Structure 1
């Protein structure tokens, strides 16, 4: 695979959860610099962490897709500009230091915003990921920022009722399962 195909392959893994494709495009030492807001399993090196990240994102956004707008290839890097699109049909749970930070209950709203990803390559595989994402635009599309009163009330009710904690526990377990299955 050439560099552009590797980059597209990484995002196909996030969209589909395909473990064979993950093993083909992601190096065993892969590191995701952006995993800090994800469930802990997303920080797992190699394909396992990418598969865990895909489970996390697909649990919140159905019909998740990453249409590519442009790519630029350097010596050992690929820069890829794309859009993240989907429908918010499950809780979007964000983490900080491995613990629940924020849970946005499903809104049914579409998301569509731009991102730029920098992928480092070695030995014909993706080995590092960094991103510049417009998370504020995504949170705005979900009604979180600036806070829409109805969304703020639902988020508070979820936290008080324990639904936010249960959603975080569920997605943490599902992501860990995806990571552990990929290492079998």
Structure 2
């Protein structure tokens, strides 16, 4: 078992995901390596694309703003040296606009629906020096979109999406 100060790699990986829902900045500074990279950051806001604790904390705030009651349930955690695979369910309620980005800026904005969701995810984390240094994920984005009423979109929801996208672009 790979341990750092008595904490197994599996326990450390779970803590790194759990803080996305409820950690404060100090938690991110303690658990995320200064050189950490989030391989999923290309669809996130620009402030989330920086490395280290600041980028991971910005991702947490982005998710928490859009999804009230953000929570993770852990099903399986498997560690092999400094690589840990985590199978979990993320849940929450969509209460604020959720903006997705591309290399040009804002790509799509999903206005709040007030609906709840619960989707499975697989996270892959590489650890170094007792902290997270690299993260990848596979998520059920289509399942989330269906549960939240994003797809298939109604004409009224498409109009709300266009209006929300315009607001986010103006604010950026």
Q: TM-score under structure 2 normalisation?
A: 0.90
Partner of 2:30: 24
Structure possessing the higher relative contact order (Cα contacts under 8 Å, 6 or more residues apart): 1
Q: Distance in 2 between matches of 1:4 and 1:15?
A: 18
1:67-104 deviation line (CA, Å, top 9, x unaligned): 11110011111100111100000001101116100111
What is residue 46 of structure 2 aligned with on the other side?
A: 40
Match of 2:77 among 51, 71, 77: 71
Q: How many residues align?
A: 166
Q: Structure 2 regions of 5+ residues with no counterpart?
A: 1-6
> Does residue 135 in structure 1 map to residue 141 in structure 2?
yes
Identify the residue that residue 100 of structure 1 maps to in structure 2.
106
* Partner in structure 1 of residue 4 of structure 2: none
CA contact (8 A) 1:36 1:98 kept: no
Structure 1, unaligned runs of 5 or more: 170-184
CA distance in 2, matches of 1:69, 1:98: 36
Structure 2 residue aligned with 1:165 = 169
Question: What value does the CA root-mean-square deviation take over the aligned residues?
Answer: 1.5
Deviation by residue 1:89-120 (Cα, 9 ceiling, x = unmatched): 00011011161001111100001100000000
Kept in 2: contact 1:66–1:82 (CA 8 A): yes
- 1:146 positional shift: 2.5
Cα distance between partner residues in 2 of 1:54 and 1:64: 10
**CA distance in 2 between partners of 1:166 and 1:106 (Å):** 18
Compared CA separation, residues 140 and 48, structure 1 to 2 (3 A): same
TM-score, length basis structure 1: 0.84
Segments of 4+ moved more than 6 angstroms: none
Structure 1 Cα separation of the partners of residues 48 and 164 of structure 2 = 24
CA distance in 2, matches of 1:143, 1:149: 12
Q: Which has the higher strand share?
A: 2
- Report if aligned partners of 1:39, 1:98 keep a CA contact under 8 Å in 2: no
